[in-house]
Amino acid sequence: MTPYDDIAVPGPTPLIDGFGRTVTYLRLSVTDRCDLRCVYCMAEHMTFLPKAEVLTLEELDRIATAFVRLGTKKLRLTGGEPLVRKGMMGLVTSLGRHLGTGALDELTLTTNGTRLAEFAERLADAGVRRINVSMDTLKPDLFRTLTRGGDLAKVQAGAAAAKAAGLSVKINAVALRDSNADEIPDLVRWCHGHGYDLTLIETMPMGEVDVDRTDEYLSLKDVRRELESFWTLEDLPLTTGGPARYVRVAETGGRVGFITPMSHNFCETCNRVRLTCTGTLHTCLGQEDATDLRAVLRAGASDDILVETIRTAIAGKPRGHDFEIARRQPAVARHMSTTGG
């Protein structure tokens, strides 16, 4: 893989948007493909992108490296499911060089866990120290339904392998009113019993899927209120660079994060942008803003032009999203698997 260590960056000026927020976190989607079909994320019969439209690993590396040189301190690799991308570990290893130089503070990824047992030790060797695993339920039958065929035992084995490899594990669970709301306390107990953190996420109106999100939406304000009825929740100043607000459960000693784009958005402190696997830079998850970095690369642009294009996109970052769960149509047409989880 070409290292692109000679990217010319015009000075150390950080990426600052028009509202004074410094962008230091890039979520980089490496594929739109996934081996699961979660009901809130994908339609059952997805049409995936042709290979020619997806960035090569070298193009992903070049763009990520440009962001690192512009002050990005955290890179999260996403999908789809990142570990289904052929050659993925080559990209992880290559990007890990920025950890060695100190230019990058953290390289991590979000995974559904189905292939994590296979890759956990290699991820740790490449410098990954934390990992997010998506798992919405402890019930095998419900897991199979929510993922349209997934094997819960395989995901749990992947999380265990990651922990054994020395990675800190955080379980991500989407809160769904009619599916897993009653077992959220059990999820907390299970995660903390295994030494994992848990982050709960409100469902978001992205892409056309086969469920009505109005029916599925569960406010995490209500979830927190329920948890506080029998546990002591202590607010923490902890931040991992993302949008979660954390508490410690005094009775279990573990942490729970709340990501609340619907009931309480976090736009005022947003430091994140997303690059899709096709090279489209989205500076806001809930807006249709887009900058085509693939076109820039494939037109043969210099590194200076790439950097200037990124700076211009960041300067136009919107103030915030306008998600409304009551809408019958999605706030944005693209699926989360295309944008990058």
- Provide the pLDDT for residue 269: 77
Distances (CA, A) of 89 to 28, 82, 233: 14, 10, 38
- Provide the pLDDT for residue 212: 53
Reported pTM:
0.87
- Provide the pLDDT for residue 322: 54
In a domain, 265, yes or no: yes
Identify the helix (H) or strand (E) that includes residue 304: helix 303-315
- Provide the pLDDT for residue 268: 75
- Provide the pLDDT for residue 2: 52
Domain that holds residue 128: 25-339
In a domain, 246, yes or no: yes
> Which residues, including other chains, have CB under 8 Å from residue 24's CB and lie 6 or more apart?
14, 15, 71, 72, 73, 74, 241, 271
- Provide the pLDDT for residue 336: 53
In a domain, 8, yes or no: no
Q: Which of these, 260, 239, 257, 262, lies nearest to 247 by C-alpha position?
A: 257
CATH number (domain holding residue 69): 3.20.20.70
R_g of the chain, CA atoms, integer Å: 19
In a domain, 12, yes or no: no
In a domain, 5, yes or no: no
Strands (E), 239-297: 245-249, 255-259, 272-275, 280-282, 291-292
User: pLDDT, tens digit, for every residue of 120-163?
Assistant: 999 999 999 999 999 999 999 999 999 999 999 999 999 999 99
Low-confidence stretches of the chain (pLDDT < 70) are: 1-12, 205-214, 240-242, 262-266, 286, 320-341
Total of domains in the chain: 1
> Which residues, including other chains, have CB under 8 Å from residue 281's CB and lie 6 or more apart?
273, 274, 275, 290, 291, 292, 293, 310, 313
Distance CA 88, CA 30 (A): 8
In a domain, 29, yes or no: yes
Say how many C-beta atoms besides its own lie within 10 A of residue 13's C-beta: 10
DSSP state of 217: B
Structure tokens at 16: 């600052």
Task: Tell me the residue length of the chain.
Answer: 341
In a domain, 257, yes or no: yes
SS3 of residue 111 by DSSP: strand
- Provide the pLDDT for residue 11: 47
- Provide the pLDDT for residue 327: 47
Distance CA 229, CA 226 (A): 5
Chain-centroid distance, C-alpha 149 = 22
